[in-house]
Structure 1
Amino acid sequence: MTSGGPKFAAPESYTPKHLAEKILTSKSALEGERKQVTVLFCDIVDSTRLAERLDPETMHELMDRILRLMAEAVHRYEGTVNQFLGDGLMALFGAPLAVEEHALRAVQAALAIQETIGGLSEEQRAKRGIEIRLRVGLNTGVVVVGRIGDDLRMDYTAIGETTHLAARLQASAEPGSILAGDATHRLVEGYVRSESLGRVALKGFGEPVAAHRIVGRRRRTRLQVSEERGLSPLVGRERELALLREAFDRAVQGRGQVVGIVGEAGAGKSRLLHEFRRSLEAERVTYLMGACVAYARSIPYSPIVDVLRLNFHIEDGDNALQMDEKVRRGALSLDPTLESTLPFFRELLSGRAEETLKALDARGKRQKMFEAIRALTVAGSVRAPLVLVVEDLHWIDETSEDYLAFLVDSLPGLRVLLVTTQRPGHAVRWSDRTYYRQIALDVLGEADTATLIRGVLGAEALPEGLVRRVHERAEGNPFFVEEIVRSMVERGTLTPATGGVRWTMEPSVAFPETALEIVRARIDRLEEPVKRTAQVAAVIGREFGERLLAQVVDTAALLQDYLQTLKQAEFVRETRFFPELEYIFKHAIIQDVAYQSILARRRAELHSAIGRAIEHLYADRLAEHYDVLAHHFSHGDDRRKAVEYLVRAGDKAVMAGAAR
Structure 2
Amino acid sequence: MTPVLACRSCGTQPLENARFCHGCGAPVAAAGAHAEYKQVTVLFADVVHSMDIAAALGAERLREIMTELVNRAAVVVQRYGGTVDKFTGDGIMAVFGAPAALEDHALRACLAALGVQDEAKRLAGEVDRRDGVVLQLRVGLNSGQVVAGEIGTGALGYTAVGEQVGLAQRMEAVAAPETVMLGESTARLVEGAAVLGEPQLVHIKGVEAAVPAWQLLGVVDQYWQSGPAPATLVGREWELYTLTTMLDRSFAGRGSVVTLVGRAGIGKTRLAREAARVAKNLGVTVFSTFCESHATDIPFRAVTRLLRAAAQVSRLDDATARVRVRSIVSDGDPQDLLLLYDLLGIADPRVELPKIAPEARRRRLAALINAVQLARAQPAVYVIEDAHWMDEASESMVAEFLTVIPQTHSMVMVTYRPDYRGALRGVRGAQSIALGPLSDAETSALIAELLGPDPSVAQIAEIIATRAAGNPFFAEEIIRELAERRVLVGGVWPLRVHRRGRRRDRAGHAAGNHRRAHRPAQPGSQADPQCRGRHRISLQHRAADRPGHRPAYRGADQRGTRRPGAVHGAGRIRVPASADSHRGLRVAIEISSRPDAPAARRGDRSPGSGIGGPVRRADRRTPRGRR
- Asked if TM exceeds 0.5, the reply is yes
Does structure 1 residue 341 correspond to structure 2 residue 341? no
1:437 offset after TM fit, Å? 0.9
Q: Tell me the SS of whatever aligns to 2:457.
A: coil
Q: Is the 8 A contact 2:452 2:493 kept in 1?
A: no
How far has the Cα of 1:131 moved from its partner? 3.3
1:50-65 matches, cutoff 5 A: 50-54=53-57, 61-65=64-68
Q: In structure 1, what is the Cα distance between the partners aligned to 2:93 and 2:241?
A: 50
2:621 aligns with none
Amino acid of the structure 2 residue aligned with 1:75 = Q
Structure 2: distance between partners of 1:521 and 1:501: 25
Larger mean CA deviation between 351-360 and 39-48 belongs to: 351-360
Change (3 A) 1:598 1:425: farther
Contact 2:45 2:172 in 1 (8 A): yes
5 Å matches for 1:78-117?
78-117=81-120
Q: What residue in structure 2 maps to residue 363 of structure 1?
A: 359
Aligned equivalent of 2:257: 258
Q: Is the deviation greater in 244-253 or in 353-362? A: 353-362
TM-superposed CA distance for 1:54, in Å, is 4.8
Calculate the TM-score normalised by the size of structure 2: 0.73
Return the structure number with greater relative CO, CA threshold 8 A, min gap 6. Answer: 2
Check the 8 A contact 2:193/2:219 in 1, yes or no: yes
The amino acid across from 1:447 in the alignment is A
Higher Cα Rg, which structure: 1
Q: Is the 8 A contact 1:288 1:307 kept in 2?
A: yes
Match of 2:189 in 1: 187
* Structure 1 CA distance for aligned equivalents of residues 189 and 584 of structure 2: 11
The 3 A distance-change label for structure 1 pair 267 and 357 is same
Residue type of the partner of 1:373? I
* Alignment match, 2:515: none
Would the aligned equivalents of 2:140 and 2:170 in 1 still touch at CA under 8 Å?
yes
The aligned counterpart of 1:508 is 520
Residue 412 of structure 2 is aligned with which of 414, 418, 436? Answer: 418
* Local SS of the residue matching 2:243: helix
Partner of 2:536: none
Q: Where do residues 301-312 of structure 1 align in structure 2 (5 Å cutoff)?
A: 301-312=300-311
Seen in structure 2, the aligned counterparts of structure 1 residues 124 and 484 have a Cα distance that, compared at 3 Å, is same
TM-score by length of 1: 0.70
Q: Is the 8 A contact 1:331 1:338 kept in 2?
A: no
CA distance in 2, matches of 1:369, 1:334: 12
Does residue 444 of structure 2 align to residue 444 of structure 1?
no
Contact 1:168/1:203, CA 8 A, preserved across alignment? yes
Quote the offset at 1:266 in angstroms.
Answer: 0.9
Q: What's the CA shift for 1:125?
A: 4.9
CA 1:398/1:121 → structure 2, altered by over 3 Å: closer, same or farther? same
Deviation at 1:69, TM superposition (A): 2.5
Task: Find the counterpart in structure 2 of residue 466 from structure 1.
Answer: 460
Deviation at 1:362, TM superposition (A): 2.4
- Does the 8 Å CA contact 2:451/2:493 hold for their aligned counterparts? no
Equivalent residue number for residue 482 of structure 2 = 488
How is 1:197-236 mapped onto 2 (pairs within 5 angstroms)? 197-205=199-207, 207-221=209-223, 224=226, 227=228, 231-236=230-235
Could you say if the C-alpha distance between residues 325 and 277 of structure 1 is closer, same or farther in structure 2, counting changes exceeding 3 Å? Answer: same
Equivalent residue in structure 2 for 1:453, among 442, 447, 455? 447
Which amino acid is 1:325 matched to?
Answer: T
Match of 2:559 in 1: none
Deviation at 1:434, TM superposition (A): 5.3
Distance verdict in 2 for CA 1:159–1:101, change over 3 Å: same
Please tell me whether the aligned partners of residues 327 and 342 of structure 1 are also in contact (alpha carbons under 8 angstroms).
no
Aligned-pair CA distance for 1:238: 1.9
The one-letter code matched in structure 1 to 2:461 is V
How much has 1:270 moved relative to structure 2? 1.1
Q: Say yes or no: does 1:326 pair with 2:314.
A: no
* Distance in 2 (alpha carbons) for counterparts of 1:203 and 1:211: 14
Paired residues of 1:36 and 1:94 also in contact (CA < 8 A) = yes
Distance in 2 separating the partners of 1:155 and 1:498? 48
Structure 1 segments unaligned to the other structure (5+ residues): 1-15, 525-533, 543-587, 589-595, 608-660
User: For 2:287, what is the secondary structure of its paired residue?
Assistant: strand
1:159 offset after TM fit, Å? 1.4
| Structure 2 SS opposite 1:183 | helix
> How many angstroms apart in 1 are the aligned matches of 2:612 and 2:132?
56
Q: From the superposition, tell whether residues 171 and 430 of structure 1 become closer, same or farther in structure 2 (CA, over 3 Å).
A: closer
Q: Deviations over 1:122-170 (max 9, x none)?
A: 565567654332111111122221223433x243211122111211221
Instruction: Note if 1:138 corresponds to 2:176.
Output: no
More moved, 40-49 vs 120-129: 120-129
- Check conservation: 2:146, 2:162, Cα contact below 8 A: yes
Structure 1 residues 578-589: aligned runs within 5 Å: none
The CA RMSD over aligned residues, in Å, is 3.8
Q: How many residues align?
A: 520
2:187, 2:214 within 8 Å by CA — same for their partners in 1?
yes
What secondary structure sits across from 1:86 in the alignment? coil
3-state SS in 2 of match to 1:470: helix
Give the number of the structure whose residues are more often helix, by fraction.
1
Distance in 1 of aligned mates of 2:358 and 2:127: 35
* Secondary structure at 1:289 match in 2: strand
Residues 516, 303 of structure 1: CA spacing in aligned structure 2 closer, same or farther, 3 A cutoff?
closer
- CA deviation after TM superposition for structure 1 residue 352, in Å: 7.0
The structural deviation recorded for 1:333 is 3.5
| Amino acid corresponding to residue 472 of structure 1 in structure 2 | T
Equivalent position SS for 2:158 = strand
